[in-house]
């Protein structure tokens, strides 16, 4: 399950030239929620991370903690078409509900 990186979210929002309120509006959230995510007080669920990524025109991994950096390095070695397919697959896997029994 992806874990949002508060620093990456803050940097991506700043890079996009958006205020917390503007980013919140794009996601249907509140500015307080964005503030809480950027400070690390609260971590959003994967669905919200997906909304943030779409609002910032980024891939979900661009906003997440870097525990899978080796995987992303390998993805960087792929050509653009294969990279997009792999990221699409990973995004679907992350967004899909767990099929494991409790």
Mean pLDDT in the chain? Answer: 83
Return the closest-CA partner of residue 33 out of 67, 11, 59, 4. 4
Cβ neighbours, 10 Å, residue 12: 20
What is the per-residue pLDDT across 25-61, written as a single tens digit (0 to 9) for each? Answer: 999 999 999 999 999 999 999 999 999 999 999 999 8
Structure tokens that stand for 15 in this block: 């890079």
Number of structural domains in the chain: 1
54 within a domain of the structure (yes/no): yes
pLDDT average, residue stretch 63-92: 72
Angle at 8 between CA 5 and CA 12, to 5 degrees: 140
37 within a domain of the structure (yes/no): yes
Domain containing 55 equals 6-95
Q: Write the CATH number for 59.
A: 1.10.260.40
């Amino acid at each position: 399950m992806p874990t949002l990186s508060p620093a990456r979210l803050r940097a991506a929002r700043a890079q996009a030239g958006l205020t917390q309120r503007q980013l919140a509006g794009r996601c249907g959230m509140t500015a307080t929620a964005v503030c809480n995510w950027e400070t690390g007080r609260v971590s959003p669920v994967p669905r919200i991370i997906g909304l943030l990524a779409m609002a910032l025109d980024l891939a979900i991994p661009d906003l997440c903690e870097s525990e899978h950096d080796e995987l992303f390095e390998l993805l960087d070695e792929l050509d653009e078409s294969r990279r997009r397919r792999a990221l699409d697959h990973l995004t679907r896997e992350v967004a899909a509900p767990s099929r494991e029994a409790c």
